[in-house]
Amino acid sequence: MKSLTEVVMPKLAESLVSATIDRWLKQPGDSIGMYEPICEIITNKVNAEIPSTVNGKLVQILVGNGEEVPVGTPICIIETEGEADQPAEAALAAAEPVGAALPVYGSQQAAAAATPAAVEPEFEGDMRHRYSPAVQRIAAEQGVDLSAVRGTGLGGRITRKDVLAYASGSQTAAPSAVPVAPAKAEQSPVRTTGLHLSETPRIPQIEVESEIPGRGEYFIDITPIRNAIARNVKQSVTEIPHAWMMIEVDVTNLVQLRNKLKDEFKKREGVNLTYLAFVLKAVVNAVKDYPIINSTWATDKIIVKRDINISLAVGTEDSVATPVIKNADQKNIAGLAREIDDLARRGREGKLTLNDMTGGTLTVNNTGSFGSILSYPTIVYPQAVNLTFESIVKRPVVINDMIGVRSMANMCLSLDHRILDGVICGRFLQRVKENLESFSIETKLY
């Protein structure tokens, strides 16, 4: 006998209270196998797949693309073979889609206790069934079946104009995609200033949803990832009183060391030996001397973390993520280089998991990768500091009353002024400086 099973939004992490449906990977009527992904969700700036734990057929989708729902909320109904707990008609009638009058969109199932799996990179192909919240709202208001609308946006995506044109009886809608730069931009020259990008950043693809007549403006829907970034940044600057410090570091010896070792390291490990690996080693050793840096504010107490887990800022042109190097103080320079390469690569490919993004105790950001020499980073809530390593620049420097050309870099620190003050942070930055300047041609990576 057939029965109907409600699939609910699972709790994928301890702090997770809600998640956003990014897109459905199955359509109503599709068969679903055990452990087969049914939809992609976005939470904490990470894409994750929700797998099925039963075999069956997707009957109805209750939550549309772009909708944020609390943990435990039913998101779809799957028909399975077995003894029915209630008639199919009753279950379908009782299931109310999340949001007002949203149409049914796609299909597949999720498990309440499922763990997130890494997703494949977002493709630029068929986006026919990926509807923005604005499109869903207009379709519901106009009574339009989106499956009958021809999309003219990127990858066949349906825009607001397409829905309104269909509702008015027009057979075609004017193209609404804003011309963007080719996905594969021309290779730019490699900079000579320290850190540099290992590949050309992806250009964000912008789709016009609505234009203002007579004015040179247009609207862009806020993506779930951008909305998460906005929410997290607002929480940080609202709750954390930021202060800022900067120190200058002579990294001439470090540049010589890296130049000596990078080719052999690449052959041996298959990854690049970046300056960031040395920076992280210098930072974690300084944190050992000043553990209060590795803390959080808890209203009536300060919590000092024993583990040093470094959040590493990984950005593209249109988003940024902060995957975590766990127990960074237990890794040598080579191990840190491998972790940096792995997290940065998976971050650019969209393959980071929730586990990769949790547990960070302080953040290090290589803003020098895009040529910055000074920055004021936002603290990743609820951490106490965000430290940036800026671009390495050759400058004339006075040494023993003589002028010499040295490789110099700035390090900028944003701090939570509830926990930290200038004295302790100044000493911490001085220790990071000493550690970086102590690297020599004899320094070992392993």
**CATH code for position 157:** 4.10.320.10
Whether residue 385 sits in one domain with residue 281: yes
C-alpha distances (whole Å) from 113 to each of 42, 106, 333 are 17, 22, 37
Residue 102 falls within a domain, yes or no?
A: no
Whether residue 356 sits in one domain with residue 260: yes
Whether pLDDT at 402 is above 70: yes
**Single-letter residue type at 181:** A
Whether residue 370 sits in one domain with residue 303: yes
Of residues 20 and 179, more confidence is placed in 20
Whether residue 78 sits in one domain with residue 57: yes
For CA atoms 124, 223, 6, 138, give the dihedral sign: negative
Distance between CA atoms of 244 and 416, rounded to whole angstroms? 9
Whether residue 212 sits in one domain with residue 292: no
Whether pLDDT at 394 is above 50: yes
Residue 108 falls within a domain, yes or no?
A: no
Whether pLDDT at 386 is above 80: yes
Q: Which of 77-81, 164-168, 267-271, 310-314 has the lowest mean pLDDT?
A: 164-168
Q: Is the peptide bond before 382 cis (omega within 30 degrees of 0)?
A: yes
Whether residue 74 sits in one domain with residue 134: no
pLDDT (average), residues 66-91: 71
Alpha helices in 81-132 (DSSP H): 88-94
To the query of whether residue 417 is one of the catalytic residues in this protein, the response is: yes
The CA-based angle 76-81-84, given to 5 degrees, is: 75
Whether residue 194 sits in one domain with residue 283: no
The predicted structure's pLDDT at residue 110: 34
* 3-state secondary structure at position 6: strand
The domain boundary, picked from 94, 113, 134, lies at 94
Residue 328 falls within a domain, yes or no?
A: yes
Place of tokens 């070992």: 444
How far is C-alpha 49 from the chain's CA centre?
15
Whether pLDDT at 307 is above 70: yes
The CATH number covering residue 81 comes to 2.40.50.100
Q: Which of 13-17, 130-134, 389-393 has the lowest mean pLDDT?
A: 130-134
First-to-final CA distance of the chain: 62
Average pLDDT, the chain: 79
Whether residue 242 sits in one domain with residue 342: yes
Cβ atoms within 10 Å, residue 106: 23
To the query of whether residue 421 is one of the catalytic residues in this protein, the response is: yes
Whether pLDDT at 84 is above 60: no
The predicted structure's pLDDT at residue 197: 45
Residue 68 falls within a domain, yes or no?
A: yes
Whether pLDDT at 99 is above 80: no
The predicted structure's pLDDT at residue 9: 87
**Single-letter residue type at 169:** G
Whether residue 246 sits in one domain with residue 166: no
The token duo for 154 is 């990127």
The predicted structure's pLDDT at residue 154: 53
Of residues 410 and 208, more confidence is placed in 410
- pTM of the predicted structure, to 2 decimals: 0.65
Q: How many domains does the chain have?
A: 3
Residue 101 falls within a domain, yes or no?
A: no
Whether residue 301 sits in one domain with residue 390: yes
* 3-state secondary structure at position 2: strand
The predicted structure's pLDDT at residue 104: 33
pLDDT (average), residues 224-253: 92
Question: Can you give the residue range of the structural domain that contains 151?
Answer: 123-180+189-221
Whether pLDDT at 174 is above 60: no
**Single-letter residue type at 57:** K
Residue 256 falls within a domain, yes or no?
A: yes
pLDDT tens digit string along 332-385? 999 999 999 999 888 888 788 888 988 999 999 999 988 999 999 999 999 999
Residue 100 falls within a domain, yes or no?
A: no
Residue 101 contacts residue 146 (beta carbons within 8 Å): no
Whether residue 141 sits in one domain with residue 54: no
Whether pLDDT at 246 is above 70: yes
Residue 138 falls within a domain, yes or no?
A: yes
Whether residue 418 sits in one domain with residue 308: yes
